[in-house]
Amino acid sequence: MFQDEKLICEDCGAEFTFTVGEQEFYAEKGLVNKPKRCSECRKLRRQKVRRKMFDATCALCGAQTKVPFKPIQGRAVLCRECFMKNTNIEEGKQEQTEE
Ligand SMILES: [Zn+2]
Ligand SMILES: [Zn+2]
C-alpha cells in the first residue's frame, strides 16, 4: 500500500508531498528513486533543459559561439569574450562622457 510521503526539495528546501498517485506512477515506470525536487523546481529544470542554444559566429573575432536566442540576420552576435570586452568599453565610455 502506498501512502503520501513528505519529502524535502533538494533545490529550494521546501517540503512537498510525494503523493500516492505519483508513487504508483513511479512504481509503474519502474523508478526506484524518489523525486528529489518539488513540482515547481522540476518544472523550472525542465524549462532550462528545453532552452535551445543556437550556433552563431562572433561578429568581432569570428569564433564559433552558442547563444540562447536565434541569431537574426544582420544583427551582430558576439562571443562571450567579446561581449564582456564590449560591455567594459561601453561602461568606460559612459564614465568619460559623464560630466
Ligand atoms: Zn523546490
Ligand atoms: Zn568574439
How does pLDDT run across 8-30, given as a tens digit for each residue? 999 999 999 999 999 999 999 99
Ligand minimally distant from the alpha carbon of residue 78: 2
Cα of 53 vs centre of ligand 1, distance in Å, is 25
Ligand minimally distant from the alpha carbon of residue 76: 2
Cα of 22 vs centre of ligand 1, distance in Å, is 16
Amino acid at 98: E
13 and 26 share one domain? yes
Range of the domain at 83: 54-97
65 and 45 share one domain? no
Cα of 7 vs centre of ligand 1, distance in Å, is 10
- Report residue 56 as a C-alpha cell: 552563431
45 and 33 share one domain? yes
Q: Indicate whether this model's pTM tops 0.85.
A: no
Cα of 36 vs centre of ligand 1, distance in Å, is 9
Cα of 9 vs centre of ligand 1, distance in Å, is 5
Dihedral over alpha carbons 4, 38, 35, 18 (to 10 degrees)? 10
60 and 41 share one domain? no
> What per-residue confidence (pLDDT) applies to 94?
53
Quick: pLDDT tens for 23-74: 999 999 999 999 999 999 999 888 776 677 889 999 999 999 988 888 887 7
Location of C-alpha cell 526506484: 32
41 and 62 share one domain? no
3-state helix, strand, coil in the chain (%, to 5): 40, 15, 45
45 and 73 share one domain? no
